[in-house]
Amino acid sequence: MKINYGSQQPAIHIYYSSLGINPSLFNQMLFGMEEENVPYLVMRQEEKSALKLGYQAADDSSLGVGVGIGEDGTVILHYKRLKEEEPLFQIHLQRDMKKLRKLGANGARLVKGIPFKDLEEQETERVIQEEGITREDMALLIAKVMSKMKEIV
């Protein structure tokens, strides 16, 4: 996969804070984009806020998709057509390392117009295994909760 270093080739823009963020920390996210065959452009910025970085990255990208990584380790996946304060996904660089690859893939999938990968799937799998709950039980429980929510609304 060719990384876009300043050319006008369409790419997902990834802006990260120059204050304490090492680009090697988000390699898994880049691998997720590569797996979906969507190019990206990585740029260091002076801004500290992940939200602002993500929104600006999406706005600057001809694909309309951007990622911002703030100095506090927050990672934002943003889309150009959304309000700045309403990003698509938000995770933490170090607490959610296992989700980074899926976040990258989701950015690429947004570009391609295909369904997202579930960021919470691993947590669900862990609960199913530890608690001995079957998938059928989980589906039934979700259906009941959704039914109750519809009654309330």
Per-residue pLDDT at 128 exceeds 80: no
Per-residue pLDDT at 129 exceeds 70: no
Same domain, 94 and 134: no
pLDDT number for residue 2: 44
Rounded Cα distance, 82 and 72, in Å: 23
pLDDT number for residue 38: 97
pLDDT-above-90 percentage for the chain: 62
* Region 13-29 average pLDDT: 91
Average pLDDT over the chain reads 86
Alpha helix positions (H), the chain: 27-35, 50-60, 100-112, 121-131, 135-152
Q: What is the pLDDT of residues 98-127, one digit of tens each?
A: 899 999 999 999 999 999 998 876 555 555
Same domain, 16 and 80: yes
The tally of domains found in the chain comes to 2
Q: Report which of 73, 91, 80 is spatially closest to residue 12, judged by C-alpha positions.
A: 80
Same domain, 89 and 126: no
pTM over 0.95? The answer is no
Q: Is residue 1 part of a domain?
A: no
pLDDT number for residue 81: 94
Same domain, 47 and 106: yes
Same domain, 87 and 138: no
Which residue would you say has higher pLDDT here, 62 or 127?
A: 62
Q: Is residue 59 part of a domain?
A: yes
The encoded tokens of residue 45 equal 């910025």
Residue-range definition of the domain harbouring residue 100: 12-112
